[in-house]
Amino acid sequence: MKKIVVWIVFISFLALISASREARSIDVAPLPNFENNPFENLYSPWVDSVFNSLTPDQRIGQLFFAAAYSNLGKGHVDGIIDLVTKQHIGGLIFFQGGPVRQALLTNRYQRLAQTPLLIALDAEWGLGMRLDSTFSFPRQMTLGAIQDMSLIRQMGREIGRQCNLLGVHLSFSPVADLNNNPLNPVIGTRSFGEDPQIVAKQCVAYMSGLQDQRILTTAKHFPGHGNTSVDSHYALPIVNDSYEELDALEWYPYKEMLKNNLTGVMAGHLHVPKLDPTPNLAASLSKRVLTDILRDSLQFNGLIYTDALNMRGVTDHFRSGELEVRALEAGVDVLPLEYLSALAIHLRPLRANWR
């Protein structure tokens, strides 16, 4: 657990440094790929000092990201302040609202936080995916027709620049799922396409653009949400593909991004019986999937996030407390929740079960 929290605290520190830089205009010439992951092999005594100052309850709080909105009233803001100052959560995921309101709230929450918050946003097609008065780029399926990867990278850099202006450190993008099931109700245009090689090239370009701006990236939804006909927000999808099929198709984009220093992976709430036959167990809670395959076989060393823990793909089968412990034991680093009211419900039993 110490390793997980140190990782989160350290990334928060690095992201805050990067966010404080002056905004830069985009250089049209393509930048070279990083030879090394810009978030690795860096050391700050500050990280150890902060970690050593935290109580066990505070360290548990650091594992959670809560949903934040800039278009809700005082009650919501007070609830976030309570989570930041009393529960010591590790980060916020901003949803609906506007850019100026979000920036002002981010500054307010950061001033109140004992440990700097990691600020996240679903910016799959830019800030406009969540915020009014901001720009939306084309969906990934439209971008999949582009053959010049430097254009995708420039888009990623611009999205990253805008994230920096708002104090956002982490984008839950790109979507690495293949669009290989026409009945899929939730991925569709969010995917670059059905060809794993094309999807891989597009994902690497988009990811590299974001990371050029020191934005943390998150490929999703491992081990692959494309070949499903069920939305995991409402039920647990079942993927019947074999290890060999997944390795050749669904995981190809992940393997290419790993070669280019991918910083994060989001685990989907999907049941894959041929990877882990445990009944009703989502991949997001499976040690076989997240540790044995993602960590050990694919050699991923970045942060692992679950999809939101209040989605019915997991809540229909596991109670609060057990759910979070299973995720952590499976190898998850960060536990996001989409609803503010749900966080306290999940934090209390986790603190009772995880010691």
- Reply yes or no on whether 307 is catalytic: yes
Question: Would you give the DSSP letter of residue 65?
Answer: E
H helix runs in 135-185, sequence order: 140-143, 149-165
CATH of domain 2-23+36-353: 3.20.20.300
Rounded to the nearest 10 degrees, the angle between the axes of helix 196-212 and helix 149-165 is: 40
What digits encode the pLDDT tens for the residues 195-240? 999 999 999 999 999 999 999 999 999 999 999 999 999 999 999 9
pLDDT at residue 4 is higher than 90 = no
219-222, strands of its sheet edge to edge:
219-222, 264-267, 303-306
What digits encode the pLDDT tens for the residues 5-54? 555 554 554 444 343 333 333 333 343 344 456 666 667 788 889 989 99
Whole-number pLDDT of residue 337? 82
Whole-number pLDDT of residue 219? 98
Contact present, 83 and 343 (Cβ < 8 Å): yes
Tokens of 351: 């603190």
Percent of the chain with pLDDT over 90: 77
Residue 69 to residue 130: CA distance in whole angstroms = 10
> What are the extents of the domains in the chain?
2-23+36-353
Whole-number pLDDT of residue 339? 54
Whole-number pLDDT of residue 347? 61
H helix runs in 62-180, sequence order: 74-82, 99-112, 140-143, 149-165
Identify the three-state secondary structure at position 93. strand
Question: Would you give the DSSP letter of residue 170?
Answer: E
Dihedral of CA 334/339/343/349: which sign? negative
Rounded to the nearest 10 degrees, the angle between the axes of helix 340-353 and helix 322-330 is: 70
Catalytic residue, candidates 241, 276, 307, 333 = 307
- Reply yes or no on whether 233 is catalytic: yes
Whole-number pLDDT of residue 74? 97
Catalytic residue, candidates 233, 247, 292, 317 = 233
Question: Would you give the DSSP letter of residue 233?
Answer: T
